Amino acid sequence: MAALTPLLKARGLKRHFGGVKAVDGVGLDLGPTGVHALIGPNGAGKSTLVGLLSGRITADAGIIEFAGRDITRLPAHARVRLGIAYTFQVTSIYPRLSVEDNVTLAVRHPSGDVTTAARAALARVGLDIHARQIAGDLSYGHQRLLELAMGLALTPRLLILDEPTQGLAAGEIAGFSALVRDVARDASVLLIEHNMDVVMDLADRITVLDFGRVLASGTPDAIRKDRAVQAAYLGA
Partner 1 sequence: MTGGVRVWALHLAVLVALALAPLVVPPYHATNLARIMVLAVFAMGYNIAFGYTGLLSLGHALLLAAGMYATGLLVAHGGWTAGPALLAGALAGAGVAFVVGLLALRTTGAAFMIVTLMFAQAGYLTILYFGDLTRGDEGFTLAREARTLFGLDLVTDATRYSAALALFAAGLIGCLLLVRSRTGRVLVAVRENSERTRMLGYDPFRARLLALTLSGLYAGTAGAAYALLFGYVGASFATVQYSVLALLWVLLGGAGTVLGPLVGTLVMFYLVDFAGNLTDATLFVVGAALILLILFARTGLLGTLRARALAWLP
Ligand X SMILES: Nc1ncnc2c1ncn2[C@@H]1O[C@H](COP(=O)(O)OP(=O)(O)OP(=O)(O)O)[C@@H](O)[C@H]1O
Residues that bind partner 1 (CB under 8 A): 54, 56, 75-78, 80-81, 85-86, 88, 92-97, 101, 104-106, 108, 150, 154
Task: Candidates 41-49, 117-125, 151-159, 225-233: pick the segment binding Mg ion (CB under 5 A).
Answer: 41-49
- Regarding beta strands 84-87 and 69-70, do their DSSP bridges make them parallel or antiparallel, or are they unpaired? unpaired
| Binding-site partner at residue 96 among partner 1, ligand X, Mg ion, none, CB < 5 to 8 Å by type | partner 1
Task: Name the residue nearer to ligand X (CB basis): 34 or 40.
Answer: 40
Site size for Mg ion, by CB under 5 A?
2
| Binding-site partner at residue 112 among Mg ion, ligand X, partner 1, none, CB < 5 to 8 Å by type | none
By the 8 A CB rule, do 126 and 145 touch? yes
Instruction: Give the shortest CB-52-to-ligand X separation in angstroms.
Output: 10
165 contacts Mg ion (rule: CB under 5 A): no
Buried residues in 88-105 as b, exposed as e (16+ CB within 10 A) = bbebebeeeebbbebbbe
Task: Name the residue nearer to Mg ion (CB basis): 47 or 217.
Answer: 47
Task: Name the residue nearer to ligand X (CB basis): 121 or 232.
Answer: 232
Instruction: Give the shortest CB-124-to-partner 1 separation in angstroms.
Output: 17
C-alpha distances out from residue 42 to 45, 68, 127, 209, Å: 8, 32, 31, 10
Task: Candidates 39-47, 176-184, 199-207, 209-217: pick the segment binding Mg ion (CB under 5 A).
Answer: 39-47
Q: What residues contact residue 192 under an 8 Å CB cut-off, 6+ apart?
A: 37, 38, 39, 46, 47, 50, 89, 160, 161, 162, 163
Task: Name the residue nearer to partner 1 (CB basis): 21 or 56.
Answer: 56
Task: Name the residue nearer to Mg ion (CB basis): 47 or 102.
Answer: 47
Q: Helix 140-153 vs helix 114-125: angle between axes, to the nearest 10 degrees?
A: 130
Residues comprising the chain, all counted: 236
By the 8 A CB rule, do 55 and 74 touch? yes
By the 8 A CB rule, do 60 and 212 touch? no
User: Terminal CA-to-CA distance of the chain, rounded, Å?
Assistant: 32
| Binding-site partner at residue 143 among ligand X, partner 1, Mg ion, none, CB < 5 to 8 Å by type | none
Residues that bind ligand X (CB under 6 A): 17, 20, 22, 40, 42-48, 89
| Binding-site partner at residue 217 among ligand X, partner 1, Mg ion, none, CB < 5 to 8 Å by type | none
- Regarding beta strands 188-192 and 8-17, do their DSSP bridges make them parallel or antiparallel, or are they unpaired? unpaired
Residues that bind Mg ion (CB under 5 A): 47, 89
